Amino acid sequence: MTELTPFFEKVQSKFADLKIISLTTADGFPIYCHINSRLKVEDEKVAAVSSSLISLSNAAAQQMMGQSLESTTIETGGSNMFLCNAQLKDKKCVLCIVTGPKENIGHARYFTQQIAQLISKQ
Amino acid sequence: MHKKVAFIGSVGSGKTTIINQLSSIDTVNTDVESSVDIGKQFTTVGIDYGHINLGDDMSIGLYGVPGQKRFNFVWDFVNDGLWAVVILIKNGDQDSLSDMAYLMKYFKVDQNSTCVIGITHAEGKETDKFTQKVRDLSEQMEVNLPIYHVDARDKSSAMLIMNTLIAIKETQE
């Protein structure tokens, strides 16, 4: 899968209710993806959706707010999705983390950004 | 009155380029560097958005979608409430021609649709055989749509597409 597998297996322990953790190229190809076995979603779909959402978020941040995007959060009744830009060996990537209702939003958001920073140091 | 026009077509057919030419505002651009060889450096992964003002009472939103099929969920975002569709096909590209049939079915383009086909990358190249293939495919799909050779980099060429769409609408009303 990827040399990042041990890294991602370690960070999963930081979350109380993790559903998906995915690292994707900017153009939507999966680099690493772990999906909770109860979810019926494919890693290619996670990758494509993540790249689309972050590209639109980047455009909105720049053109509407005149600033660089830090993160994007999507909230539903039972899950939350966190997305942010990442960098792996000079290539732009997208980190996507989906958590369940037991996960504190602020905690998940903080760790998403921390993980993105750690990825850039790999 | 705000109308919605979708620009659809295979990878590298000129969707982002033509919207950049037509738009009277800075476009919302969602191009990223491609990690695989698709024949060009950048690819659209979100929605390109531009805007044309046509007088006081009408404006047109220009929506460009990714050409890669794995982003077809983005196609659904623009598929609702379309005023017109522009199909761009890359001259001489068999994949682009194959995608034309798929896209026409996906976007439910039929003889009643306001739709124009633009063949791009035709400048200085032989086009007769490929244009005939596009025409033949349109006949198989039972539609008779205007087919133009268009330079997506040239505003007057791109405006020909828009003027044709407006003319079609006026004849339908």
Q: What is the pLDDT of residues B125-155, one digit of tens each?
A: 888 899 999 999 999 999 999 999 999 999 9
Nearest to B28 by CA among A58, A84, A25, A83: A58
pTM comes to 0.89
Which residues in B lie closer than 8 A to residue A27 (C-beta atoms)? 32-36, 43, 45
- Give the domain CATH number at B92: 3.40.50.300
**Rounded distance between C-alpha atoms, residue A97 and residue A82, angstroms:** 5
Question: Given a cut of 70, is residue A2 above it in pLDDT?
Answer: no
Q: Are A48 and B46 an interchain contact pair (Cβ–Cβ within 8 Å)?
A: no
Query: Strand runs (DSSP E) across B45-153, as ranges?
Result: 48-53, 59-64, 84-90, 115-120, 147-149
pLDDT value of position A34: 93
The full set of domain ranges for chain A reads: 5-120
Average pLDDT in the A96-109 region? Answer: 94
B33 and chain A in contact, CB less than 8 A: yes
Task: Find out whether B107 and B79 touch, Cβ atoms under 8 Å.
Answer: yes
Q: What percent of chain A clears pLDDT 70, i.e. is strictly above it?
A: 98
pLDDT value of position B2: 85
The alpha carbon of residue A36 and the mean position of all alpha carbons in its chain are separated, in whole angstroms, by: 14
The confidence band for A3, taking pLDDT boundaries of 50, 70 and 90, is confident
Q: Does domain A5-120 have CATH number 3.30.450.30?
A: yes
Whether complex ipTM tops 0.90: no
Q: Which domain holds residue B84?
A: 2-172
Task: Find out whether B18 and B7 touch, Cβ atoms under 8 Å.
Answer: yes
pLDDT value of position B57: 82
Q: Are A51 and B35 an interchain contact pair (Cβ–Cβ within 8 Å)?
A: no
Q: The tokens 């828009």 sit on which residue?
A: B162
Chain A residue closest in CA terms to B66: A52
Nearest to B85 by CA among B55, B127, B118, B51: B118
Task: Find out whether B8 and B75 touch, Cβ atoms under 8 Å.
Answer: yes
- Give chain B's domain count: 1
How high does pLDDT run on average in chain A? 92
Q: Are A55 and B45 an interchain contact pair (Cβ–Cβ within 8 Å)?
A: yes
* Structural tokens at position A83: 């997305």
Of the partner residues B29, B32, B47, the one whose CB lies closest to the CB of residue A26: B32
Of the partner residues B29, B31, B70, the one whose CB lies closest to the CB of residue A28: B70
Rounded average pLDDT per 10-residue block, chain B, 173 residues: 92 95 92 92 94 86 94 91 95 92 93 94 87 94 94 94 92 80
pLDDT value of position B173: 73
List residues in chain A touching B: CB distance below 8 A: 25-29, 44-45, 48-49, 51-53, 55-56, 58-59, 63, 91-92
Average pLDDT in the A83-88 region? Answer: 96
- Interface-testing mutation among B11, B40, B70, with chain A (most A C-beta atoms within 10 A): B70
